[in-house]
Amino acid sequence: MKVSAPDFSMESVHRAAGRARIAGVDEVGRGPLCGPVTAAAVVLDPARIPEGLRDSKTLTAARRMALHDALLACAEVSVAHASVAEIDALNILQASLLAMRRAVEGLTVAPDQVLVDGNRVPQGLPCPAEAVVRGDGRCLSIAAASIIAKVTRDRIMAELAQQYPGYGWDENAGYPTKRHINAIAQLGVTPHHRRSFRPVRNILCEGSA
């Protein structure tokens, strides 16, 4: 079955109602055992939308990077994070919402409307917001945000992989692959691991037993 591509119809409805600056917002990194959760807010220029915007998960790494660079050249982009300490203190859902709110707040000018991937909207946004379930596959602005967030976080994890070799973060981005789980057991828990996540917590408990 052919998967439909995201389009600009949601943005067009809001623009017709007088809301010209529309930000798509998405996050990446809820599932990994380590590293920050990263969010992006993107305001597209309707006259300069790069061809081929899709949910970042459906694109090759090379295509994501090309679109990432194209978006930086023609759209307004803001990226923000919630740290491992914040994830452990707040829980991953609240940390994700925090990162998304920070991304919106980082835009040069506050948007008139925010379209957020998922079923929840961050509290405290400076404008109206709408949650869009599976938005990265339906809405071009959210798809753009998913690409920016994914490429940014992957680069962070690749850099951390140089500092902490053996965990495979340049390949698994911190997700709980077999190699990663085995590496935690053999090499130990790093300062970048989320101690509130069960696989990490279990290993820590085994070590202290």
In the chain, domain spans:
9-162
> What's the mean per-residue pLDDT of the chain?
95
Q: Is 184 helix (H, G, I), strand (E, B) or coil?
A: helix
Per-residue pLDDT tens over the stretch 66-111: 999 999 999 999 999 999 999 999 999 999 999 999 999 999 999 9
CA-wise closest residue to 81 among 146, 148, 23, 27 = 27
The proportion of the chain whose per-residue pLDDT surpasses 70, expressed as a percent, equals 97
Please tell me the predicted confidence (pLDDT) of residue 206: 76
Please tell me the predicted confidence (pLDDT) of residue 4: 74
For the segment 10-30, the average pLDDT, to the nearest whole number, is 97
CA-CA distance, 86 to 90, in Å (whole number)? Answer: 6
CATH 3.30.420.10 assigned to domain 9-162? The reply is: yes
**pLDDT for 137 beyond 70:** yes
Please tell me the predicted confidence (pLDDT) of residue 3: 54
Please tell me the predicted confidence (pLDDT) of residue 31: 97
* Residue 1 pLDDT class (50, 70, 90 cuts): very low
Q: Is 82 helix (H, G, I), strand (E, B) or coil?
A: strand
**pLDDT for 9 beyond 50:** yes
22 sits in which H/E element: strand 22-28
Q: Is 58 helix (H, G, I), strand (E, B) or coil?
A: helix
- Alpha carbon 3 to chain centroid distance? 22
Q: Is the pTM of this model over 0.85?
A: yes
Please tell me the predicted confidence (pLDDT) of residue 153: 98
